[in-house]
Amino acid sequence: MQVVIALGSNLGESSNTLAQATKTIEQLEQVRLLKQAPLYRTKPWGYADQPDFVNSAILVDTSLELHELYRKLAQIELDFGRKRLFKNGPRTLDLDIIWAQDTKLNDDQLTIPHPRAQERAFVLVPLSDLDPELKFPDTGLTVAQALSQLPPSELAGVTPFTNQQ
C-alpha cells in the first residue's frame, strides 16, 4: 500500500533531523521509500510564538498495517527527542500519516486521511510535489484542488527551504 507521511520540525537542526528521520523510516522493515518532497520553511500553525518549521513529505510503499506503521513512527519521534508539551507546540520531529491508498479510517488512534491535511498549506505544498493528482478519499478532492481553495495568505507562509535561512 502506498502511504504519505508528513515530516516537520522546528527545534534543533531541523533540516538534518528530517533527513535522518527519512533514512530511519526508509530502514524500517516492510517500508520502501518511493519519493521525497523538497524541504519548505513554514510559519507555525495554531501557536505562533515559536520558531518557523521545516516541513516535507515522503511517499512510501509498505506492507505494514497502518496502526503498526503509526506505532513505529511514534517511536521514531520519541527517539528523536519528541516531547508533547502542548497542542501545536514546538517539536524536534513530527511524523503524520496523511494519506493511505484507498483508505478511510477513523478510530481512537488514527484518522486517515489526516483530518486537517486539506486545510494546511504546509502539508499540501510538499504533497503536491509528490503527486498533485493524489485524491483524498473522504472529499474526492485532489491535492491540486485542495491547494487552489486555500487563501493566498496561507500559501505565503510556505517557502522553499535553503540552508542560508
Catalytic residue among 41, 79, 84, 91: 91
Catalytic residue among 32, 52, 79, 82: 82
Contact by Cβ (8 Å): 114, 98: yes
Catalytic residue among 41, 96, 120, 131: 96
Dist CA 120 CA 94 (whole Å): 15
Catalytic residue among 41, 94, 120, 131: 94
CB atoms within 10 A of CB 34: 13
Respond yes or no: is residue 96 known to be catalytic. Answer: yes
Active site residue 94: yes
Instruction: DSSP letter for 117, please.
Output: G
> Which cell numbers in the block locate residue 38?
523538497
Does residue 31 sit in helix, strand or coil?
strand
- Show which residues are catalytic: 82, 91, 94, 96
